[in-house]
Structure 1
Amino acid sequence: MKCFEAWVSIFRGSDLTPLIEPLIANLDPSSLDLFDPTATALISVLSSSSLSDGAGPRMLTEPLLLWSAHWGSIVVQKTMEAGGTDDVGHALCKLLVGLGDHSTHYLASKIASTDPLEPAFNPVAAQTGGALPTKGQLVQTFLRLLLAFSAMPGYYGVDEEESEMTLGFWYLFQEELWSVNVPTKDGERRDAAKEKDMWAVASAVYAELVAALRIKVKWPPLRSGWAKDQVEKFQVYRRDVGDTLINAYYVLRNDMLAFYVNDNVACLSVPEESVQWEEIEASLHCIMSIQEAVPVEENEYLARLFSPEILGRLPTTKHIRLRRTTLALIGSYSSWFTVLSTPDLLMGVISYVAAALPEPALCLRAADALRDLCDDNRVALAPHIAAFGELHAGLTGVPDTEKAKVLQSIASVIQALPPRNQIPPIETIVTPVLSKLVEALQTSRELPEEARILAIQQLHTLTGITKGLTQATEAIMLDEEPALESMKDMEEARKDPRIVQLRDAITEAICSCVDLWSTDASVSDALSELFKSITALPADTNLISLPPTPLLQFVCNAAQRQLTAVWLTLANMLTVQMDPPSVYPSALRPVPAPEARVVIQNVTESLLQSSLQFFCAPGVLEANPDIVHAFFDCMEKIAFHFVSIFYNLPQESFDGLVHCAIAALSLQERYSVVGASTFLITFINRSHSSDDLGDAKAVIVQRHGPEIIRAILVGFAGVAPRSAAPNLVELLSTFVTKYPTETKLWVSQILFADDFIPSKADSEAKEKFIRALFSSRTLRRTRDAAQQFILVARGLEGSSFGYSSVTM
């Protein structure tokens, strides 16, 4: 059997078919030494041979189904009587799963078939006798066997290992059911009656599966004595069951929700001391698992679930596991509450969540659930802002790590108020955070580590508040009158002295944090997240949004102390905000204001000074690809939005920038090459298309054109990584299309120079490359010519590896 299993993949179907009958004849459950290797060999036939993927239904599938109906039923019955499986049962389960995976289409299409069975041979003829079952009866018997293993008594990972093995089949089976056509005998029309029968049987099967899996995911009573690895294994199993339940939902739909909800009602109908809370938790876990499949529309069963009938009767003390699952369930269905016509049900759920916030074991889940509820239902909750004021007042017992999520939740509700009405509640939630941040700054000398941790927590909290105040809509229709009116109201509210003073205090606190801790990685990450959330394009501005100008200055100061990718990435983002799109409908993009140009001029000079000074040390470019990439990303954004800035730089700064880009083109780190290439492409294109620059826009070509072209060609010949070839090609194409005469001269001179790096490309290959490059100045022809030259120069011409490694 082992030898056969090893060679099974080489047999043709006609050679393998005669071996099926003697193989099945060896499936003797009374002898494990014979049964296990034979079952394993048959699994290889089902999965790895020329008869895999559903082939051989009469020769392979139907005889195995007949064998399973007789011998499989006997083994399963003995297993259930014994209360657990043995080695024979385990091997049988593997065989049944292998048969199910192989014959999924057969099983789905024949699940309700009344056609007589006509297998190539009957492996249990002597035992069965009489008439053969129909194909539908045989399939249903097989499904019952698999259901028995799915519902194996005991806990997975502790008492049995088989139930998990069957989960993948139920996913494949559901997928196949949807693709089955049920034609009439003429083969032209679907038979509605047969299709109805098919789904009736399928629904009954999945209903049994759903009921079984609810029992299987039930936790044992507390203090069960499980080891840590058993707990973790069972948690993974519960997640896998959740994936299977999604497929069951697509078959059963609301009947599945009805089963779980009614089951919970029944469990809660007994006296409280007799309630089986583990069973209720299991049902809630199952409902939570199918959330992504449940449509966001009115649903009577979900309404019952979150009503006083069920949620209102769940415990609010002790029972940590049940309450944790309930909170996760509420958070997962947060978007469903948006379809409710009244907020009464939602407010009841909010109250349940808020009650769990002070408990350390539940605070994390409660804060997450509250954040999701408020973010998805901010408009419905806005009239109840007073209740959230009370919630804010009672946050004394909530850890700072979770308080940020709670304040984000409250801010989400505040955002739905008219801008003028947002001012008092924003003051209420932001002022204490700022006070703690100032406290951290003041105690930084006496208690440096404690102050740093406190500052990070308050920065995260400010970030959460600003995220909550950001509008929930992903896109705002600016040409709609209500949107424009809302923006005008926001502009007026931002002028209120209370909010102006609050923004000034935030700015001052940020400035102090940057001055004190900009070289600390954790603080700089926290500041980065705050910068991203507290700045916004005009359409997304809220009351505490800060303008980019002062933040850019903070970034430059921090970069001068220690250049990192964090500060360069922030400079990139803030540069874009200095040239925002117009908030009003317009066919033309507005020209950046003169004040913005002055700011970006200073920012560019500052970042260039600190960056070029950092990069000039030997080995720095090679050792810091993240900083190199972030630097050129930032320069690329400045080139796109403010290209004229570069032409006002001191000559040594401009030359230093271009020389740095040329050096980066020869690095082995792909992202460094990509960043430098993208910057140069954008810089050349924007310069060439700018009418304001006049003759000055040719300075990069006149001063640095040959150096850039040499770096590109050297990269082609072997210096640059092959994965960066498309970016180098695009840069070369930019030169070819914008400056064809100069580029042709430079390419010829560089390729045939004595100091060009050694490569496999001879003079003929170089001439061919030049002719192809300039015969038609299109990106496609440039790409084809460069690709062929790279293959030749690197000695990869004619190799499949070489071609695939430079395919563009």
Structure 2
Amino acid sequence: MAAVAFTAENVEQAVLQFYQSISTQATHEWLTVAQISPQAWSFSWDLIQQNKAPEVQFFGASCLALKVSRGWMELKPEQIPGLRQRLMDTVVTYTGPKIVLTRICVAVAGLVIHSIGHTWENPIKDLMNKFQPLISAENLRPLLLLLELLTVIPEEFTTIYLTSKRRSQVRACFSNNLKDVLDFLIQVMSQQSNSEVSVQACKSIQAWVQFGVPIEESEQLIERLLAATQDEELADVAFESLSSMVTHPETHKYPNHLMNLLKRLLPLDKLLYEYMNEGSYECAIPVLSLFISFGESHSRLLIDWSTTSQEGRECVLRMISAILAASSCPAQFPTHETISEMPFGFWYILQDDIIACEPEQYEMCVALFGPVYTALVQTMLVKSMYDPQDHLWTADQREQFRCYRTDVADTIMYSFNILRDILLETLLQNLDVSITACLANEGSWPPLESCLHAWYAVAESLADSEEEDANPLLSRFLSKLALIPFTKNMRVYSTVLDCIGGFSDWLAIAPQLLPHVIPIVTAALANQELSLAATMALKDISRDCNECMQPFAGDVIEAIHRAIQSNNLQTNEIIRLMYPLGEMLSLLPSQHILPRLEPIVAPHLQMLSSLGTASTKQSDPQIRAKVIFVLKLMSTLFQTLNISRRADDQPESETCRPTDSRGEPAQQPVFVIVKQCLPLLSSICEHNTDDPEIINSVCMLLKQSVSTLQAEIRPLTQDVVNLTMACYRVSPQPSALDLVKQFFIMYGRDADMQQPLKGLLNELCALTIRTIQSGVTMSDHTELIDCFFAMLAQVLKKQTGLFINNEMDSNILVQCAIHSLTMPEQHPVKSAATFLTHLINVSREAESLVPLVNSHGEALFMQIMRCIGGEANRTFLDYYTDILLALNKKYFDNLNRYLNAMVVTPNFPSEYCTKEQKETFKTTVLRERANKRKLQETVREFSLICRNLIGSEYATQLLQYGL
């Protein structure tokens, strides 16, 4: 359909086809193009004729509004008066559907915004003068039409694109008209009894107050809006108008007037309480929104008022009490009410401003608002209780409540910032009461679970505390965990486990509490309902309390073994358990580690041995999943199974190593396991060369082994490298590059390893380049290219010697990197640019690399300029800037020559940039040899010139956000 002309008849046919549900994607796309086409200026008028179908009229009016809004620059100055006259005639005479009239009004609004102060000096005044004489008691249509226009114009101002300068000009013009418009609207509301007129006038007020109602002169307006809040039809819009007034960014300049306004608003709290007592929570939303808007916008003023005068204190506490009442509404969220979630933002902002106060005022705030936050916490404890019947809820309701509890936890955490130990005392009291109640009646578990949830919420704040010693209140809480009757309720038990994990760093400070909590965690490991929380808690404890866990290591290892044997755990949970298992094993005497480990991992390794050669012979996805599972399991184990412990008083390069019975340093268990597993891993790779995920898992396992063993891997280096390269030769995988990179970094300066590593680097480069070249496009190997050049960049930066006197084909390597700069994917472009930047920077210290840069420098520069000129994504410009900066620092003469060539090359890098603009770009680039930020700005601006975007809406937005 794309070849069909954009005529009124064709567009009308397409619109009817679209609305008759026989449209295609092509029809939709064609209509979208038609809307922005130059022909839309013409066919729009034909489509809004009132003899057309309503949907056709609506499309025509929408086209017209879109063209006026976004296509204004297409008009010639002499066309604007005719457009204005035709629009005004149309809006006055149109009597069709209201939805179409609204779109015509939007077009008029766009005309007003683009014209005001330029081709139309004062359109607002002219519109009012045009319609007011037509208004009569018998004919309210002109009044409704004027009110519609006065509403749409400021609304369109918030969405229409304008340059920042033009937006300021238009805003100033509207501000100049503000008083006249508001006076007219207030007059309408005072004199008209027609509800439709009153509602539209109120909507218009709401739209206009964005231009800065002078609050010191708004007595009459506020009076009228407050009166409107008592009218059921006007109340919602009146409340929104008041909210818009109090949230205007200029209002804080008038604290006295704001206080007077607050006094006028406070009596509305009776309405709020009335609705809440009736259970009409939805009806309470407008007044609650007004109070919250006032509080969030002026929380700093609330603090000042409440700490400087008795009157201010009473007003502020009255408003906050109303908000607290909403947070405390007795109904169940979300099945009966949804208003209690509205104040969450207010409570955060208030406490944030309190914390920012000077010490003297802060103490006053804590004394004043402490009881408020204490009451809020008590409320949150009730509101976050689970409903015992929540199994009857819908999935959406359960998800809403889950998110609500997250907000409750955040609010309690913020409250801790104000209350500190007062909050902990409150939670301890609630914990004692709820434990007693639960012991008496098993069905009384929701308050207990909610209190534990609150303790978990403050864990993060306590972790950030600067106190060095364990808080005694926290110690009391942790010691009570063993007393909780949680075994019969899985939700309570799960939250207990969350608390233990959340306070793991505090358990490290108070290790005497570990005997209370470790049995709780280990007892839950094999329980299907608790295994997720239990495995996460055990991982947290083993990580944070490692030095204190030795007395419990044996019991924990045994519990892990039992849990795995229970067959109740998910595979991810078994993998997670390998982390604490490695930590606990590392605490045992070295000679006991492998005997304790073998019963746990041997079955998995035996399974791996039996499956490794079978996985390619059977197309069973379960076999493949099991192989990957065991490889990940061992990889996680190797993260923490490390008997080399660094001493606090030793240099980073030194470690403490246990000794064996002969006094020799004990051998690392990971070394023993890897040595034994290498043949098995080799077999797995041999039989699964076409399975990238399995190969990747093997490489990740070996990578973790190298990371743990570091230099101790050396006796196995050749075997590991041989296995890795065997896999890479068949199917190059990014994970293999990450693995081998560690050997380059570790042994790059070792004289004995220089030649083998250079040979390894040569082969890697040759295999990778061959693979990249085998694809139809470079994007076929995005991840491989990314990891390849990232590896080369690291090796080049840290072990430059491996690139000196190397037999690899460096020319092809650099050419590939240059070509990668044009890829549409971000990560490979970034890695290739980083490699090239490092190559340029280190070449001056490695003379053998200078000819490489010289021979490819111009090709690199030209590629960069093509990318800047439009051949690459504009978000990559900073990567190209890094290369230009490196050339400028290290090869200034070369760059000068390249830039001169660019300047005299016609239509390069784009037909849109002139020779003068290229000269300016050249001069600026050569001048910026140190200031990277300025060079980035220069490149971004030149790129916009090359893409013919300078002066466009798109370009303005990019420059505004530094893109």
Moved more, 642-651 or 99-108: 642-651
* Structure-1 residue corresponding to 2:22: none
* Structure-1 residue corresponding to 2:453: 285
Does the 8 Å CA contact 1:146/1:166 hold for their aligned counterparts?
Answer: yes
Q: 2:787 aligns with which of 630, 640, 657?
A: 630
* Structure-2 residue corresponding to 1:186: none
Paired residue secondary structure (1:268): helix
Does the 8 Å CA contact 1:629/1:675 hold for their aligned counterparts?
Answer: yes
Structure 1, unpaired ranges of 5+: 116-133, 183-189, 580-590
Identity score, percent: 20
1:142 aligns with 2:343: no
Amino acid paired to 1:456: I
CA separation of 1:471 and 1:232: change in aligned 2, threshold 3 A: farther
* Structure-1 residue corresponding to 2:731: 562
- Tell me how far 1:26 sits from its aligned partner: 1.0
* Structure-1 residue corresponding to 2:621: 449
Moved more, 734-743 or 378-387: 734-743
Does the 8 Å CA contact 1:213/1:241 hold for their aligned counterparts?
Answer: yes
Q: CA separation in 2, counterparts of 1:801 and 1:13? A: 31
- Tell me how far 1:514 sits from its aligned partner: 2.7
- Tell me how far 1:346 sits from its aligned partner: 0.9
* Structure-2 residue corresponding to 1:306: 478
Provide the TM-score with structure 1 as the length reference: 0.83
* Structure-2 residue corresponding to 1:711: 863
Map 1:238-277 → 2, pairs under 5 A: 238-270=405-437, 272-275=439-442, 276-277=444-445
* Structure-2 residue corresponding to 1:40: 240
* Structure-1 residue corresponding to 2:959: 804
Map 1:149-228 → 2, pairs under 5 A: 149-180=326-357, 198-222=365-389, 225-228=392-395
Map 1:729-748 → 2, pairs under 5 A: 729-745=881-897, 747-748=899-900
C-alpha distance after superposition, 1:37-82 (max 9, x if no partner)? 322221121224643xx454443444434542x4423641x34543
CA separation of 1:555 and 1:261: change in aligned 2, threshold 3 A: same
Does the 8 Å CA contact 2:206/2:237 hold for their aligned counterparts?
Answer: no
Q: CA separation in 2, counterparts of 1:381 and 1:198? A: 43
Does the 8 Å CA contact 2:865/2:909 hold for their aligned counterparts?
Answer: no
1:458 aligns with 2:610: no
- Alpha-carbon RMSD across the aligned residues, in angstroms, is 3.7
* Structure-2 residue corresponding to 1:334: 504
Amino acid paired to 1:410: L
Paired residue secondary structure (1:759): coil
Does the 8 Å CA contact 1:375/1:472 hold for their aligned counterparts?
Answer: no
- Tell me how far 1:198 sits from its aligned partner: 4.0
Does the 8 Å CA contact 2:438/2:485 hold for their aligned counterparts?
Answer: no
Does the 8 Å CA contact 1:108/1:177 hold for their aligned counterparts?
Answer: yes
Q: CA separation in 2, counterparts of 1:805 and 1:64? A: 37
Q: CA separation in 2, counterparts of 1:469 and 1:415? A: 6
C-alpha distance after superposition, 1:635-678 (max 9, x if no partner)? 22332344454455556x33321221222234444443332232
What number of residue pairs does the alignment pair up? 749
Q: 2:540 aligns with which of 351, 359, 372?
A: 372
Does the 8 Å CA contact 1:717/1:790 hold for their aligned counterparts?
Answer: yes
CA separation of 1:213 and 1:535: change in aligned 2, threshold 3 A: same
Provide the TM-score with structure 2 as the length reference: 0.70
CA separation of 1:167 and 1:749: change in aligned 2, threshold 3 A: closer
Moved more, 724-733 or 253-262: 724-733
1:689 aligns with 2:845: yes
C-alpha distance after superposition, 1:189-245 (max 9, x if no partner)? x58xxx755422211111111111100101111465211111111111110111111
Amino acid paired to 1:517: N
- Tell me how far 1:555 sits from its aligned partner: 3.2
Does the 8 Å CA contact 2:222/2:242 hold for their aligned counterparts?
Answer: no
Q: CA separation in 1, counterparts of 2:301 and 2:902? A: 67
* Structure-2 residue corresponding to 1:17: 218
- Tell me how far 1:35 sits from its aligned partner: 2.9
Does the 8 Å CA contact 2:228/2:235 hold for their aligned counterparts?
Answer: yes
- Tell me how far 1:762 sits from its aligned partner: 4.7
C-alpha distance after superposition, 1:77-96 (max 9, x if no partner)? x34543x2344423222222
Paired residue secondary structure (1:614): helix
Paired residue secondary structure (2:520): helix
Map 1:381-530 → 2, pairs under 5 A: 381-395=549-563, 396-397=565-566, 398-399=568-569, 400-417=571-588, 422-427=593-598, 429-444=600-615, 445-446=617-618, 448-469=620-641, 480=650, 484=654, 486-487=656-657, 496=667, 501-530=672-701
1:109 aligns with 2:304: yes
Does the 8 Å CA contact 1:23/1:42 hold for their aligned counterparts?
Answer: no
Map 1:566-581 → 2, pairs under 5 A: 566-579=735-748
Q: CA separation in 1, counterparts of 2:888 and 2:832? A: 18
Moved more, 783-792 or 165-174: 783-792
Q: CA separation in 1, counterparts of 2:780 and 2:840? A: 28
Paired residue secondary structure (2:707): coil
- Tell me how far 1:421 sits from its aligned partner: 5.7
Moved more, 269-278 or 241-250: 269-278
* Structure-2 residue corresponding to 1:96: 291
Amino acid paired to 1:18: E
Q: CA separation in 2, counterparts of 1:114 and 1:757? A: 68
* Structure-1 residue corresponding to 2:880: 728
Map 1:228-239 → 2, pairs under 5 A: 228-239=395-406
C-alpha distance after superposition, 1:138-166 (max 9, x if no partner)? 22222222211111011111111111111
Paired residue secondary structure (2:483): helix
Paired residue secondary structure (1:156): coil
- Tell me how far 1:773 sits from its aligned partner: 5.7
Q: CA separation in 2, counterparts of 1:32 and 1:471? A: 74
Moved more, 206-215 or 730-739: 730-739
CA separation of 1:805 and 1:532: change in aligned 2, threshold 3 A: farther
Does the 8 Å CA contact 1:367/1:402 hold for their aligned counterparts?
Answer: yes
Higher RCO (CA < 8 A, seq sep 6+): 1
Paired residue secondary structure (1:509): helix
- Tell me how far 1:619 sits from its aligned partner: 4.1
Q: CA separation in 1, counterparts of 2:594 and 2:752? A: 32
C-alpha distance after superposition, 1:617-645 (max 9, x if no partner)? 46421444333222211222332344454
Does the 8 Å CA contact 1:246/1:289 hold for their aligned counterparts?
Answer: yes
1:662 aligns with 2:818: yes
Does the 8 Å CA contact 1:677/1:731 hold for their aligned counterparts?
Answer: yes
Q: CA separation in 2, counterparts of 1:111 and 1:442? A: 76
* Structure-2 residue corresponding to 1:124: none
CA separation of 1:608 and 1:219: change in aligned 2, threshold 3 A: same
* Structure-2 residue corresponding to 1:588: none
Q: CA separation in 1, counterparts of 2:655 and 2:226? A: 81
Paired residue secondary structure (2:218): helix
CA separation of 1:271 and 1:4: change in aligned 2, threshold 3 A: closer
